[in-house]
Amino acid sequence: MTILSACALVTPPPVEKIRPVGNDLVINEIFTLPPDRYYAYSWIELYNPTTRRIPWFDESYPASVNAVGLNGTFIQTQNDGDDWSSPPSIPSADFHGVDFPYPDTGYVVGGTGADVGVVKRVVRVGSDYQFFDPTTLPPTATVKAVSSIPLTVSAYAVGNRGAVLRTTSRGVNWVSYNSGVTVNLNAVKMATVSRIFACGDSGTILRSFSTGRWDKIPLAPEYGATNFHAIGVSGSLGDSAWSVGEGGIILGSRNAGDTWFPETTNTTANLYGAYFVGGTPYAWAVGEGGIILKKEKAGTKWETQSSGTTTTLRAVTFVDSLRGWATGDDGVVVLTTNGGRRWSTTSSGTGNMIRAIYPLPLNIRILNRYVLQMWAQRKEFFFDLSTGTINFDYIVKTDTGYLYFDPEILNQNGVSEPPSDIPPNGFVIINSDSSRFQEHTDIGPGRTDILNISIGYYYDTTTALGVRPVLWDLLQGGEVRLLQQSFSIRISTNEFLGLSTSTVDVVRWGGFVPTPEDFAFDPLYPVPPVDKIYPQNIPAGTIPEWWSLSRYGDDVGTDVELQNTNESFYMSERPVPGYYSQINKNK
Residues 165/174, Cβ–Cβ less than 8 Å = yes
Lowest mean pLDDT among 122-131, 163-172, 252-261, 550-559: 550-559
**Backbone angles phi and psi of 44, in degrees to 5:** -125, 130
* Averaged pLDDT for residues 157-182: 96
Span between the terminal Cα atoms of the chain, in Å = 21
- Is pTM, for the whole model, over 0.85? no
| Pairing mode of beta strands 344-346, 333-336 | antiparallel
Bigger pLDDT: 442 or 93? 93
The pLDDT assigned to 9 comes to 45
Bigger pLDDT: 500 or 3? 500
Summarize pLDDT for 339-359 with one digit per residue, the tens.
999 999 999 999 999 999 999
The pLDDT assigned to 17 comes to 53
φ/ψ region of 65 (left if φ > 0, alpha if ψ in -120 to 50, else beta) reads beta
Q: Give the integer Cα–Cα distance in Å for 237 and 443.
A: 62
Summarize pLDDT for 449-507 with one digit per residue, the tens.
999 989 888 888 887 777 888 999 999 999 999 999 999 998 878 888 889 999 999 99
User: Helix count (H) and strand count (E) of the chain?
Assistant: 3, 42
The pLDDT assigned to 362 comes to 86
φ/ψ region of 425 (left if φ > 0, alpha if ψ in -120 to 50, else beta) reads left
**In the structure, what pLDDT confidence band is assigned to residue 525 with cuts at 50, 70 and 90?**
confident
The H or E element spanning position 409 is helix 407-412
* Averaged pLDDT for residues 324-346: 95
Q: How far is CA 486 from the centre of its chain?
A: 11
Residue 79 burial by Cβ neighbours in a 10 Å radius (0-12, 13-18, 19+) = middle
Positive or negative: CA dihedral 402, 408, 414, 416 = positive
Lowest mean pLDDT among 13-22, 111-120, 313-322: 13-22
Nearest-CA neighbor of 565 among 517, 521, 501, 511?
511
Residues 505/479, Cβ–Cβ less than 8 Å = no
Summarize pLDDT for 19-62 with one digit per residue, the tens.
677 889 999 999 999 898 888 999 999 999 999 999 998 888 99
Lowest mean pLDDT among 70-74, 460-464, 515-519, 553-557: 460-464
Answer whether residue 323 shows pLDDT above 50: yes
**In the structure, what pLDDT confidence band is assigned to residue 410 with cuts at 50, 70 and 90?**
low
Bigger pLDDT: 519 or 109? 109
**In the structure, what pLDDT confidence band is assigned to residue 584 with cuts at 50, 70 and 90?**
confident
**Backbone angles phi and psi of 115, in degrees to 5:** -105, -5
Answer whether residue 407 shows pLDDT above 60: yes
Q: Give the integer Cα–Cα distance in Å for 96 and 144.
A: 5
**In the structure, what pLDDT confidence band is assigned to residue 392 with cuts at 50, 70 and 90?**
confident
Partners of residue 507 on adjacent β-strands:
480
Summarize pLDDT for 502-513 with one digit per residue, the tens.
999 999 999 999
User: In what order do the strands lie in the sheet containing 354-359?
Assistant: 73-77, 65-69, 354-359
